[in-house]
Amino acid sequence: MLRLTEPVYLRIVGHCLDGLPDEACGLLGGGPGTGKVTVCYPTRNVAASARVYTVDPKDHLKADRDAEGRGLEIVGVFHSHTHTEAYPSPTDVAQAPDPSWHYVLVSLKAGPPVLRSYRILDGKISEEPVVVEAR
Amino acid sequence: MTVEVRLPTVLRPHAGGTSSARAEGATIGEVLQDLVRQYPGMAGQLITDGGQLHRFVNVYVNDDDVRYLEQLDTKVSEEDVVSILPAVAGGGQ
């Protein structure tokens, strides 16, 4: 299960909407192994594309250091799909960097944003429930 | 010389779970080779068979991404901290 604080949830969705028409991306900070994300790090998409994303490596380093300073770790990544479902694409699976991470997808395909979360282990995708908590 | 190398979570199991290692070298390429010598489980994850930095990792000297410096030839000195992070990418296609 992935637990997001409400401010994190809103920041994820807001950053994805702000990124339109391109895909937007960012990193998620939390206590390792807790399944809870308490900090959202919006990052630049250096691919600047509606079809692919690459987290800006400098933003990643900054986020990693900030998380460490708070006693947290980067525990996942989020990105938007601007015209497909909130499900990992073959590219997402092939490039999933860390089996311990949560992979959050936000579909902006139609109507309100749809947020889902997955684990990706050895190329195998499994969806996990997402709970938004007040804090 | 010896520098501190910060490891991403995905590589830590190859280094006994530690988040930081020490490695020797005058350039990033030498430091990464020394890391692989110490932790053979990292072979193939840092440097390609063709001798290039693997595209699935980003390597930094202090605050700078070595891809914007001299790649594997980037020089390091004793006080430098080398950080390795996964390159995070994907997309809906």
What chain A holds in terms of domains, given with CATH numbers, is 2-133 (3.40.140.10)
Task: Tell me the C-alpha distance between A38 and A104, whole Å.
Answer: 14
Instruction: Identify the band that residue B92 occupies on the pLDDT scale cut at 50, 70 and 90.
Output: confident
pTM for the whole thing?
0.94
The mean predicted confidence, pLDDT, of chain A is 96
Alpha helix ranges (H) inside B6-90: 28-38
- Those residues with Cβ within 8 angstroms of residue B64's Cβ, 6 or more apart along the chain or in another chain: none
**Model pLDDT, residue B69:** 96
**Model pLDDT, residue A40:** 98
Alpha helix ranges (H) inside chain B: 28-38
pLDDT greater than 70 at residue B93: no
Q: Mean of the pLDDT values across residues B31-40?
A: 97
Q: Which of B56, B62, B88 to mutate to test the interface with A (most CBs of A within 10 A)?
A: B88
Q: Mean of the pLDDT values across residues A51-61?
A: 96
Q: Mean of the pLDDT values across residues B33-53?
A: 94
Q: Do A98 and B67 touch (CB under 8 A)?
A: no
DSSP reduced 3-state for B74:
coil
The pair of three-digit structure tokens given for residue A58, joined into one six-digit string: 């400098």
pLDDT greater than 70 at residue B20: yes
Task: Decide if A106 contacts A12 (C-beta within 8 A).
Answer: yes
Please identify among residues 43-82 of chain B the ones whose CB lies closer than 8 Å to any CB of chain A: 56, 58, 60, 63, 65, 67
What residue of B is the nearest CA neighbor of A24? B91
Q: Who has greater pLDDT, A119 or B1?
A: A119
The pair of three-digit structure tokens given for residue B27, joined into one six-digit string: 């350039």
Task: Decide if B13 contacts B40 (C-beta within 8 A).
Answer: no
Nearest to A86 by CA among A67, A68, A103, A65: A103
Q: Mean of the pLDDT values across residues A88-93?
A: 94
The pair of three-digit structure tokens given for residue B25, joined into one six-digit string: 């070298």
The pair of three-digit structure tokens given for residue B64, joined into one six-digit string: 């700078």
Q: Mean of the pLDDT values across residues A116-120?
A: 97
Task: Decide if B73 contacts A31 (C-beta within 8 A).
Answer: no
In terms of Cβ atoms closer than 10 Å to its own Cβ (0-12, 13-18, 19+), residue B62 is exposed
Task: Decide if A127 contacts A2 (C-beta within 8 A).
Answer: no
List own/partner pairs for A66-71 with CB under 8 A and 24 or more apart.
Answer: A66/A29, A66/A39, A66/A41, A67/A29, A67/A39, A67/A41, A70/A29, A70/A39, A71/A31
